[in-house]
Amino acid sequence: MIKLLTIDDSRTIRRVISGIGAMLGFEVLEAENGAEGLAVLGEHVHEIGLVLLDWNMPGMNGLEVLKSAKANPRIRHIPVMMVTTEGERDYIIQAIQAGAVHYQTKPFSQEEMATRILEAMGMGGA
Protein backbone atom coordinates (compact mmCIF):
# COMPACT_ATOMS: atom_id res chain seq x y z
CA MET A 1 0.00 0.00 0.00
CA ILE A 2 1.32 3.45 -0.91
CA LYS A 3 1.85 5.70 2.08
CA LEU A 4 2.00 9.44 2.49
CA LEU A 5 4.22 11.20 5.00
CA THR A 6 3.14 14.47 6.60
CA ILE A 7 5.88 16.49 8.27
CA ASP A 8 4.24 19.29 10.24
CA ASP A 9 4.61 20.58 13.78
CA SER A 10 0.85 21.11 14.03
CA ARG A 11 -1.09 18.01 15.06
CA THR A 12 -4.20 19.67 13.66
CA ILE A 13 -2.73 19.78 10.17
CA ARG A 14 -1.31 16.25 10.52
CA ARG A 15 -4.76 15.01 11.48
CA VAL A 16 -6.45 16.83 8.58
CA ILE A 17 -3.94 15.38 6.12
CA SER A 18 -4.33 11.90 7.58
CA GLY A 19 -8.07 12.19 7.00
CA ILE A 20 -7.58 13.28 3.41
CA GLY A 21 -5.13 10.41 2.89
CA ALA A 22 -7.76 7.99 4.19
CA MET A 23 -10.25 9.38 1.70
CA LEU A 24 -7.78 8.72 -1.10
CA GLY A 25 -7.01 5.23 0.19
CA PHE A 26 -3.52 5.99 1.53
CA GLU A 27 -2.10 5.30 4.95
CA VAL A 28 -0.48 8.44 6.33
CA LEU A 29 2.72 8.44 8.39
CA GLU A 30 3.33 11.44 10.64
CA ALA A 31 6.38 13.35 11.79
CA GLU A 32 6.36 16.54 13.85
CA ASN A 33 9.70 17.98 12.79
CA GLY A 34 12.21 17.82 9.96
CA ALA A 35 14.73 15.48 11.59
CA GLU A 36 12.04 12.98 12.52
CA GLY A 37 10.59 13.31 9.03
CA LEU A 38 13.90 12.50 7.33
CA ALA A 39 14.31 9.48 9.61
CA VAL A 40 10.83 8.16 8.74
CA LEU A 41 11.56 8.82 5.07
CA GLY A 42 14.74 6.75 5.26
CA GLU A 43 12.98 3.94 7.08
CA HIS A 44 9.96 3.71 4.73
CA VAL A 45 11.70 4.70 1.52
CA HIS A 46 10.00 1.97 -0.54
CA GLU A 47 6.47 2.69 0.70
CA ILE A 48 6.19 6.46 0.70
CA GLY A 49 4.64 7.88 -2.46
CA LEU A 50 4.54 11.53 -1.43
CA VAL A 51 5.83 13.78 1.34
CA LEU A 52 3.70 16.71 2.52
CA LEU A 53 6.09 19.17 4.07
CA ASP A 54 5.45 22.23 6.23
CA TRP A 55 7.79 25.22 5.89
CA ASN A 56 7.90 26.87 9.32
CA MET A 57 8.83 24.34 11.97
CA PRO A 58 11.07 24.41 15.02
CA GLY A 59 14.54 23.09 14.17
CA MET A 60 15.09 22.49 10.46
CA ASN A 61 12.68 24.44 8.31
CA GLY A 62 10.85 22.80 5.42
CA LEU A 63 13.18 24.14 2.76
CA GLU A 64 16.17 22.69 4.62
CA VAL A 65 14.38 19.35 4.92
CA LEU A 66 13.57 19.44 1.21
CA LYS A 67 17.17 20.21 0.24
CA SER A 68 18.45 17.51 2.56
CA ALA A 69 16.06 14.94 1.06
CA LYS A 70 17.03 15.90 -2.48
CA ALA A 71 20.73 15.60 -1.63
CA ASN A 72 20.25 12.04 -0.40
CA PRO A 73 20.45 9.54 -3.32
CA ARG A 74 18.36 6.99 -1.39
CA ILE A 75 15.32 9.21 -0.97
CA ARG A 76 15.68 11.95 -3.55
CA HIS A 77 13.22 10.25 -5.96
CA ILE A 78 10.31 10.58 -3.53
CA PRO A 79 8.13 13.53 -4.58
CA VAL A 80 7.65 16.34 -2.06
CA MET A 81 4.79 18.81 -1.89
CA MET A 82 5.08 21.86 0.35
CA VAL A 83 2.04 22.55 2.55
CA THR A 84 2.51 25.90 4.22
CA THR A 85 1.04 29.25 5.19
CA GLU A 86 3.84 30.91 3.20
CA GLY A 87 2.03 31.88 0.01
CA GLU A 88 4.35 34.43 -1.52
CA ARG A 89 5.67 33.84 -5.00
CA ASP A 90 9.32 33.89 -3.89
CA TYR A 91 8.73 31.02 -1.50
CA ILE A 92 6.99 28.94 -4.17
CA ILE A 93 9.82 29.59 -6.63
CA GLN A 94 12.44 28.60 -4.04
CA ALA A 95 10.61 25.37 -3.24
CA ILE A 96 10.05 24.33 -6.85
CA GLN A 97 13.67 25.13 -7.69
CA ALA A 98 14.80 23.02 -4.73
CA GLY A 99 12.86 20.07 -6.15
CA ALA A 100 9.30 20.25 -4.73
CA VAL A 101 6.76 18.90 -7.23
CA HIS A 102 3.82 20.85 -5.87
CA TYR A 103 2.91 23.57 -3.41
CA GLN A 104 -0.28 23.99 -1.43
CA THR A 105 -0.92 26.98 0.78
CA LYS A 106 -2.83 26.80 4.05
CA PRO A 107 -5.73 27.25 4.49
CA PHE A 108 -7.07 24.64 2.08
CA SER A 109 -10.31 22.80 1.61
CA GLN A 110 -10.38 19.01 1.75
CA GLU A 111 -11.26 18.79 -1.92
CA GLU A 112 -8.48 21.15 -2.89
CA MET A 113 -5.85 19.27 -0.90
CA ALA A 114 -7.08 15.89 -2.12
CA THR A 115 -6.84 16.92 -5.76
CA ARG A 116 -3.39 18.47 -5.23
CA ILE A 117 -2.13 15.21 -3.70
CA LEU A 118 -3.41 13.25 -6.70
CA GLU A 119 -1.78 15.74 -9.08
CA ALA A 120 1.53 15.58 -7.21
CA MET A 121 1.48 11.79 -7.53
CA GLY A 122 0.59 11.92 -11.22
CA MET A 123 -2.86 10.45 -10.56
CA GLY A 124 -4.92 13.60 -11.13
CA GLY A 125 -6.37 12.88 -14.53
CA ALA A 126 -5.68 16.31 -16.10
**For binding to another protein (CB under 8 A), which residues are involved?**
10-13, 15-16, 18-27, 56, 58, 84-90, 92-93, 96-97, 102-103, 105-112, 114-115, 118-119, 123-126
Nearer to another protein, 6 or 102 (CB): 102
Tell me how far, at minimum, the Cβ of 3 lies from another protein, in Å.
Answer: 10
Tell me how far, at minimum, the Cβ of 9 lies from another protein, in Å.
Answer: 8
Nearer to another protein, 35 or 114 (CB): 114
Nearest to 96 by CA among 108, 77, 82: 82
DSSP codes joined into one string, 61-97: -HHHHHHHHHT-TTTTTS-EEEEES---HHHHHHHHH
Phi, psi of 10 (to 5 degrees): -95, 120
Nearer to another protein, 58 or 73 (CB): 58
Nearer to another protein, 45 or 123 (CB): 123
Tell me how far, at minimum, the Cβ of 97 lies from another protein, in Å.
Answer: 8
Nearest to 83 by CA among 63, 54, 61: 54
Tell me how far, at minimum, the Cβ of 39 lies from another protein, in Å.
Answer: 22
Phi, psi of 51 (to 5 degrees): -110, 130
Number of helices followed by number of strands (H, E) in the chain: 5, 5
